[in-house]
Amino acid sequence: MSSNIGAHVKCTVFGESHGQAIGCVLDGLPPGEKIDLEEINIQMKRRAPGLDSTSTTRAESDIPKILSGVLNGRTTGAPLAALIENNDQKSKDYDELSRLMRPGHADYTGHVRYKGYNDVRGGGHFSGRLTAPLVFAGGVCRQILRRRGVYIGGHILEINGERDSDFDPVRVEPELLERLSSQHFSLIDSSVEQAMRQKVESAKKQGDSVGGIVEAAAVGIPAGLGSPMFGGVENRLAPLIFGIPAVKGVEFGAGFGFASLRGSEANDPFDFDDKGNVVTISNNNGGILGGITTGMPLIVRAVIKPTPSIARPQHTIDIKNKCKAKLQVRGRHDPCIVPRALPVVEAVIALGLLDLMNDNLKGFD
């Protein structure tokens, strides 16, 4: 398995959806950082199942238990290990899934890769549940970054064709990011919420699911973070975001939109602001040039596919009996992953940015 990442601030995620517990180990954190558990729990709740009609009804409290690396509320500098118990698993829902491969899920590829020994219950280590430890890790990093003036937040940009307003790429206020990152169904323009929810409800009623796009931003990032070629900010953040199950595309700034622009429209002209700081008048490059931060807002979008486990009958194969089969997925599944994936995208950006900051600062002292 390859469930660890980071050059300086390293994160390892462990566990399976229906095992005893899931968790993470965060290594390389600066010592003496105050950790506000209540604030982390707000982020955990944004991702937790069972709290919104767009989510699965699996009820997990997702309260992380810190096992090491924190003393008297502050990081010690030793590896920080956190455990999240699994309490509401219903594994009998998964008996037939060891034979019948869910289209769109990792049952088949997991079976091939791990020779049939992988835990298929609840998706095992491939489950979206494994993003809970990521939200914990990101919650820790987010607090450390905020103390250094960096703010991260995101919103649901699109669900099945219903679209929120985009971030203004040159003017993202920390207050907006703080509001968005404290909400469950985060939107810049809340008037689109009903239409989005209707799309989810209608798919759910038909035993189906929908996907969408999340857009995240980070501000207060100093210019000069990252390196060219393979050490770029895009290179460092994309693996983290693609580590989130169901993410199938990531774009920075104008992203694929660059295809229809001319150079004169795509370039971000330089200027000085009132305080003499270098800024760009537009921000199509999403705050990154040559893999290195410009100091403008970092803008990232991730597309989340429709939840693979759907109640509608689907064509598949029985891998044990080697025959064609019909599958109707039972069990509890999110009719739309997008709202729950959003805090995870924010969390991994926090993890990646803290790691990148450590490249340049060689420690935080």
Ligand X SMILES: Cc1cc2nc3c(=O)[nH]c(=O)nc-3n(C[C@H](O)[C@H](O)[C@H](O)COP(=O)(O)O)c2cc1C
**Which residues are paired to 70 by β-bridges?**
75
- Bridge-based pairing state of the strands 270-272 and 278-280: antiparallel
Determine the 3-state secondary structure of 140 from DSSP: helix
Smaller CB separation from ligand X, 40 or 341: 341
Q: Which 107-126 positions form the footprint of ligand X (CB under 6 A)?
A: 123, 126
E strand map for the chain: 4-5, 10-15, 21-27, 65-68, 70-71, 74-75, 80-85, 151-159, 162-163, 212-219, 247-252, 270-272, 278-280, 288-289, 292-293, 298-304, 314-318, 323-327
Integer Cα distance of 64 and 319 in angstroms = 37
Of 80, 101, 106, 213, the residue at the interface with ligand X (CB under 6 A) is 106
**Least distance CB 200 / ligand X (angstroms):** 13
Q: Which 186-245 positions form the footprint of ligand X (CB under 6 A)?
A: 244-245
Residue nearest to ligand X (CB): 128
Burial (0-12, 13-18, 19+ Cβ within 10 Å), 187? middle
**For ligand X, what does the binding mask look like between residues 288 and 327, x meaning CB under 6 A?**
-----------------x-xxx------------------
Smaller CB separation from ligand X, 126 or 167: 126
Q: Which 55-74 positions form the footprint of ligand X (CB under 6 A)?
A: 56
How many beta carbons lie within 10 A of that of residue 95, not counting itself? 12
Q: Is 250 in the site for ligand X (CB under 6 A)?
A: no
**Least distance CB 276 / ligand X (angstroms):** 43
- Cα Rg, the chain, nearest whole Å: 21
Dihedral sign for Cα atoms in the order 51, 55, 60, 63: negative
Find the part of the chain contacting ligand X (CB under 6 A) among 191-199, 267-275, 329-337, 347-355.
329-337
Integer Cα distance of 157 and 166 in angstroms = 7
Q: Which 335-364 positions form the footprint of ligand X (CB under 6 A)?
A: 337, 340-341, 344
**Least distance CB 229 / ligand X (angstroms):** 26
Smaller CB separation from ligand X, 218 or 246: 246
Q: Is 45 in the site for ligand X (CB under 6 A)?
A: no
Smaller CB separation from ligand X, 107 or 162: 107
**For ligand X, what does the binding mask look like between residues 150 and 169, x meaning CB under 6 A?**
--------------------
Binding region for ligand X (CB under 6 A):
56, 105-106, 123, 126-128, 131, 244-246, 305, 307-309, 333-334, 337, 340-341, 344
